Amino acid sequence: MERFICIHGHFYQPPRENPWLEAVEIQDSAHPYHDWNERITAECYAPNGASRLFDDEGRIRDIVSNYARISFNFGPTLLAWMEEYSPQAYRAILEADRLSIGWRSGHGNAVAQVYNHIIMPLANRRDKETQVRWGIADFERRFGRFPEGMWLAETAVDVETLDVLAAEGIRFTILAPHQAARMRARGGRKWHSVEGGHIDPTRPYLCRLPSGRSIVIFFYDGPISRAVAFEKLLDHGERFARRLLSGFDDGRHHAQILSIATDGETYGHHHMHGDMALAYALSYLEDNGLARLTNYGEFLELHPPGHEVEIVENSSWSCIHGIERWRGDCGCNSGGYPHWNQQWRGPLRHAFDWLRDELAGPYEMAAGALLRDPWQARDQYFQVIADRSPDRLESFVNRHALRPLNDDERIRVLMLLEMQRHLLLMYTSCGWFFDELSGIETVQVIQYAGRAVQLAQELFGNGSETSFLQRLAAVRGNNPDYRGGAGIYEAFVRPAMIDLVKVGAHFAVSSLFQEYGEETRIFSYRVKSEDVRLIPAGQTRLAIGRVWVGSTTTGEEARITYCVLYFGNHALNGGVRIFRGNEAYEAMVIEIARAFESSDFAEIIRLMDAHFGMHNYSLRDLFRDEQRRILGMVIGGVLTEFEDRYTALYDNYRLLMGFVRQTGMPVPYRFMTTAQLALNLKLDRAFTKPGIAEAEVGEILREIADWEVEIERIDLEFQIRRRLEKAMTCLRDNPLDSTILTEAAGLLELAGHVPIDLNLWLAQNIYLEIARPLWRELTERSRGGDTHNDWWFGQFRTLGERLNFNANAVLPPVPEA
């Protein structure tokens, strides 16, 4: 019988966007990257779009897309981030699905996902439907086709969820083997229990639903999937392939599909270079004719289900207690301490359920006064989330409004729908998965709830925040630093809340350090300068102005006036408030400017108090990324002074300390600390200088070895990699530029002397992108006697060898003379 293999990767990250800014702020734990999305993209998502296959000597013989050969789903919120911040990796994912359609009988590898990864059995019917409809709409927008299958968050399932999928046209989903309860042959009468994972996972099953609908279920192979995720099966590609083949049984007399499913991050993030093991295993299977690679849609067309199944209600793949991990203290946990408990999970969900239900009535009433069908409008609101352009918004409002709406009514509609969006986002499953209430994932979902509460207060003024906080107060975590959920709300949610005045304050403070144009974008807000006056006096500066601030999500807008006084370093005081008219504004400008010209700073502060009251702001109130950038500017000079002094101390005393060491006397640790800092600074600066300072780098490395100083590998690798990638990008734009080619080759040779593991992934991709279209043309010219091309040909081949390519394998053959 035929053997098919389908590897499914569930690629997903918890949403990390600040709910008010709609952007991921800097995360220091992801260093040297900006945030964890960026880091995991570099480690996993991008490499799987261009993974390496090696020859017997460990050189690259080909670069392939794993996505084009496996089944996969991506979380819609993750793809939204990738589309903006990692477009190359994003395009590789879409292209892989397009290729797979041609390879797999018209069936694409990509599978949809419920929108923001909620535990579907714990949602009400209305939320289930919106999650599925948004997931389908997101998929269609990106992949240009209707999804055949849909991945359920944590494979958490109940019959109602399956019915929602089937009602929306989804043909299949994927579950764990222990989620099957009983099965029978189609048309048969006798059911057979398969509880405990005893179902045959190599065939599809039809699940008939009480509504009369039905859906196909594929069950992945549990033991092999666990081995991939937790048993280091990805340490060796051929062993991985052999283990996959072990899932077939010659005693089965039907076409078999060996299917496994794991988190996609297994292939590169959880297991370094796991993408390469995957690429090798897939090629090994195909090249040796051991099995046919397929996806679920293709196999379903070729082999419709001959058996029926019933599921274990309220079950999932990552909780042996069903779905208790997301509502109870079941013992399933990740991280934390042995004495911790998760008794907070249930009360937190109860608080969220109360908030959702408490706001449903006011939403329905307020939206019903403006829209034909408030809940249908919510289901179709994804069209605006995906594209917030004025034209799309206009089309959406016109389609759903009961009558033509004025500007205030349009804003109210958007605020209502944004409130509903955040009520959905607050159920993202990651908020309950880990151990502690104060963990970043749980804080994130509480922030989503906080954004919904803020909008409800503005819309209805119904005191919902007070009642919500009372319920949060009953949510008790393990961290004694916080008074349960209410304490976390006060510590992490309220300070994060942003309104138009805070955006104006951010603009006002940052305007002292950078020049804005007439209009600028600050995350999810637009700011237009109407009057900006910057008055310098030595190190002291005064900024006074008026700006228009508007939200791109709700359409709210306001005019803001501000005054900020900067004394130097981090000393700054500012006042911001809603514009109160030209007369009050001009009076404020005249009075404060006059006091500044007189250097009467005490008077300025008094006037700011008089004009702005308690609306005071400082560098602390900047959004995190801009705060980090400006503080970097402020302390830049100080750091340079420190660095110069440490370097001078090392240079002045290294000979003396060398003599001390020769006598056998221990070198003082203070000097060794100075040496480590100074030598790493020198190495860092050597790689930032224009040109290749080969002799200088060589001398520094000799001193590092002599003093046995530890190199700061992470930062140095990141810097050298970025410089190499910049050189390769320039070479791609100007492939025949010998200067750029020499720089790239020289940088690679020099980096080879530094004891770091340089990540060459992007540089290798660019090399191949340059090589394949140019190679034949240049070798033809070389054969014709073009000596420059002879030189280029040789240098470029050398560059490829330094990038670890097997040039004979990855490049077209050189034409014979």
pLDDT of residue 817: 44
Q: Which residues contact 86 (CB under 8 A, 6 or more apart)?
A: 38, 41, 45, 46
Domain end, chosen from 445, 476, 496, is at 496
pLDDT of residue 785: 56
Residue 640 in any domain: the answer is no
Instruction: Let me know: does 683 contact 662? Beta carbons within 8 Å.
Output: no
**CA-to-CA distance for 176 and 614, rounded, in angstroms?**
57
Instruction: Let me know: does 419 contact 363? Beta carbons within 8 Å.
Output: yes
pLDDT of residue 791: 79
* Domain that residue 211 falls in: 3-318
Q: Which residues contact 565 (CB under 8 A, 6 or more apart)?
A: 540, 541, 542, 572, 573, 574, 596, 601, 604, 605, 608
Are 402 and 478 in a shared domain? yes
pLDDT of residue 86: 96
* pLDDT higher than 70, residue 746: yes
* pLDDT higher than 70, residue 814: no
Are 603 and 722 in a shared domain? no
Are 31 and 125 in a shared domain? yes
Are 490 and 513 in a shared domain? no
Radius of gyration of the CA atoms of the chain, in A: 31
Which tokens in the block code for residue 21?
A: 């800014």
User: Which pLDDT band holds residue 782 (cuts at 50, 70, 90)?
Assistant: low
pLDDT of residue 753: 87
Are 460 and 573 in a shared domain? no
User: Which pLDDT band holds residue 815 (cuts at 50, 70, 90)?
Assistant: very low
How would you classify residue 519: left for phi > 0, otherwise alpha for psi between -120 and 50, otherwise beta? Answer: beta
Are 479 and 608 in a shared domain? no
The string of pLDDT tens digits covering residues 436-474 is 999 999 999 999 999 999 999 999 987 899 999 999 999
* pLDDT higher than 80, residue 336: no
* pLDDT higher than 60, residue 813: no
Residue 605 in any domain: the answer is yes
**What's the average model confidence in pLDDT over 675-692?**
88
Are 94 and 237 in a shared domain? yes
Domain end, chosen from 496, 529, 553, is at 496
Residue 641 in any domain: the answer is no
Residue 692 in any domain: the answer is no
Residue 735 in any domain: the answer is yes
* pLDDT higher than 80, residue 778: no
CA-to-CA separations, 647 to 286, 641, 660, 680, 704, in angstroms, rounded: 57, 10, 19, 10, 14
DSSP string, 541-582: EEEEEEEEEEETTT--EEEEEEEEEEEETTEEEEEEEE---H
Among candidate residues 127, 128, 129, 151, the one with its CA nearest the CA of residue 139: 151
**What's the average model confidence in pLDDT over 378-401?**
96
Residue 706 in any domain: the answer is no
Residue 293 in any domain: the answer is yes
Instruction: Let me know: does 301 contact 105? Beta carbons within 8 Å.
Output: yes
Among candidate residues 352, 312, 345, the one with its CA nearest the CA of residue 155: 312
Instruction: Let me know: does 19 contact 524? Beta carbons within 8 Å.
Output: no
Instruction: Let me know: does 293 contact 5? Beta carbons within 8 Å.
Output: yes
* pLDDT higher than 50, residue 171: yes
Are 526 and 463 in a shared domain? no
* Preceding amide of 374 cis, omega within 30: no
The string of pLDDT tens digits covering residues 56-102 is 999 999 999 999 999 999 999 999 999 999 999 999 999 999 999 99
The string of pLDDT tens digits covering residues 624-660 is 999 999 888 888 888 899 999 999 999 999 999 999 9
Count: domains in the chain: 4
Instruction: Let me know: does 173 contact 128? Beta carbons within 8 Å.
Output: no
Are 237 and 249 in a shared domain? yes
**What's the average model confidence in pLDDT over 352-368?**
98
Q: What is the CATH number of the domain that holds 158?
A: 3.20.110.20
User: Which pLDDT band holds residue 378 (cuts at 50, 70, 90)?
Assistant: very high
Residue carrying the six token digits 């203070």: 670
- Give the three-state DSSP class for 806: coil
Which tokens in the block code for residue 589?
A: 């400008």
Are 280 and 390 in a shared domain? no
CA atoms within 13 Å, Cβ hemisphere of 269: 20
Residue 153 in any domain: the answer is yes
**CA-to-CA distance for 710 and 675, rounded, in angstroms?**
10
Are 465 and 524 in a shared domain? no
Are 96 and 198 in a shared domain? yes
Domain end, chosen from 622, 645, 664, is at 622
